[in-house]
Structure formats: C-alpha cells, structure tokens
Amino acid sequence: MDLLFIIILGGLWGSFANVCIVRLPKDKSVVAGRSICPKCRKQIKWHDNIPIFSYFFLGGKCRKCKKKISFRYVLVETISIFSFLFIYLLYGISITTLLFFILSLGFLIIFFIDLEHFIIPNVITYPLMVLGFLKSFLPNLDSIFPYYVLSLIGGIFGYAIIWGIIYFYKQIKNKEGMGLGDAKLLAVIGFWFGLDAIPFVIFLSSAIALLLVVPDLIKKTKKMSTQIPFGPYIIVGNLIFLLLEKQLQFFIL
C-alpha cells in the first residue's frame, strides 16, 4: 500500500509539474484555471487528465479535436513517479524524503522549461535556495546535507562562479555566454549540498554538454555560437554527483 501511495503521489505531482512547464514560461498561474487542450483550447475534463492512464486510454489524442498530445506529458509523469519511488526506497518516511521530493520536482520543472524555452524561472530557483539553506538547521538529516555554514558558502560560491564566467566572457566577447538562471541553479545545488558539490557538478555538466554538442559541431548542424540550455546538464551532473559521490571523491583524490 505504501508503494501504491507513492506511485499515485508521484503521478499527481508529475501532472502538476506539467502544468508548471506549460504555464510558467507564459507567466500564467499554476494554481488557477482548468487544463485545456493546447490545440483546440477546449477544457480537459478530470477523467481525461489522469496521469499516464488518460494519455494511453485516449490513444495520445485530445478527445475533442483528435490532435496528438505531446508525449512529454507522459514522460514527465513517469520520471516523477520513478523519482518518488527511488527516494522513498532510499530514505523511507522521513524529512529527507520530503525534501528530496520537493527538490526532484523543482529539478524536473526546470529541466523541461530550460530545454524548450532556454529560461530557468526564478519562481522555482528562489524558493529552492531558501529551502536549501533553511533545511540545514534541521536536526537528524542525512549526512549528504551540509550544516548551515557550508550550505551558505556553497550557495554563494555556486552563484559567484557562474556569474564570474558570465562577466569575463562578456568582457572578452562583448556578449552573454550563459544566463544568470544557470548561476541561480548552481546556487541551489550549493545551498542543498554544500561547497564540495560545486566543482564536481561543474565538471560533470560541462563534460556531458561537450560530449553531446561536439558531434553536432562536427556535422555542422550547430555552431559555436548556437544557444544551448545548460540547466539540464547541471541537473544531470548533480544527479550523477549524488549517486556516485563517494566513488567520484575517491577517483579525484
């Protein structure tokens, strides 16, 4: 029963993440207004909005206009379910689990918004920064979370290093190289996981981005000046850091 509850919870919050992914770039409220079909603009009834199930029941199409519904909705809800399950199986019923639920949901929203719109909403990063710092005052948290001094230093350093890259790149090239959204996202990681996480995440995210972009540069489908969303790479780099923290430290040291 516990696992079924977590699956349902993950699906419902994944559905909410989809609402945020669609509405936040348009500066629309995520709590007011019913969901509508993006093609025919007709209101979607509740029984056509059940996470994952409704998509396949309707054959991936809107009931009214029969136009295709983006598979991204299913993907986001599926990732949310598996994230919630994984976190629950690791930490059980605990404050750590609740914190990771919130962080995973925030990262999921940021990942897909930045991937499509090249923006990282402040309405997500600012609360995550505050929560990342405040949670360091809670007792009996998992050791992966730093105490408040290291949390504060990590947040400041995470922001400052990206800000520094943006500043010096602009001085040399006279144009923006990265966005401050990336700096705020790295600050989130610093507040949550401390100073030690920042070098690993920067290295991992840069390496992953390079590996994925180089083939496009070779095929000339992208140029060096082509804009790429760096937020998803930062998030993937942080996930790798969390999963392989001890192995990475042993390898480097």
State the pLDDT at residue 6: 95
Cα–Cα nearest to 193, from 237, 135, 151: 151
Q: Rounded to whole angstroms, how far apart are CA atoms 224 and 215? A: 12
State the pLDDT at residue 101: 97
Which of 19-23, 28-32, 44-48 has the least mean pLDDT? 44-48
Would you say residue 198 has pLDDT above 60? yes
Beta strands in 119-249 (DSSP E): none
What region, left, alpha or beta, does residue 140 occupy, with left being phi > 0 and alpha being psi -120 to 50 degrees?
Answer: left
Percent of the chain with pLDDT over 70: 91
Q: What is the dihedral of CA 117, 118, 124, 128, to 10 degrees?
A: 150
Q: Are 14 and 79 in contact (CB under 8 A)?
A: yes
Q: Rounded to whole angstroms, how far apart are CA atoms 146 and 144? A: 6
- State the DSSP string of 183-228: HHHHHHHHHHH-TTHHHHHHHHHHHHHHHHHHHHHHTTSS-TT---
Would you say residue 177 has pLDDT above 80? no
Residue 94: strand, helix, or coil? coil
**Phi/psi of residue 16, each to 5°?**
-65, -40
State the pLDDT at residue 72: 93
Residue-wise pLDDT for 31-85, tens only, equals 877 788 877 888 888 777 888 998 898 888 888 888 888 899 999 999 999 999 9
User: pTM for the full model?
Assistant: 0.90
Residue-wise pLDDT for 81-111, tens only, equals 999 999 999 999 999 999 999 999 999 999 9
Which sequence spans correspond to the domains of the chain?
1-93, 123-253
pLDDT band, residue 116 (cuts 50/70/90): very high
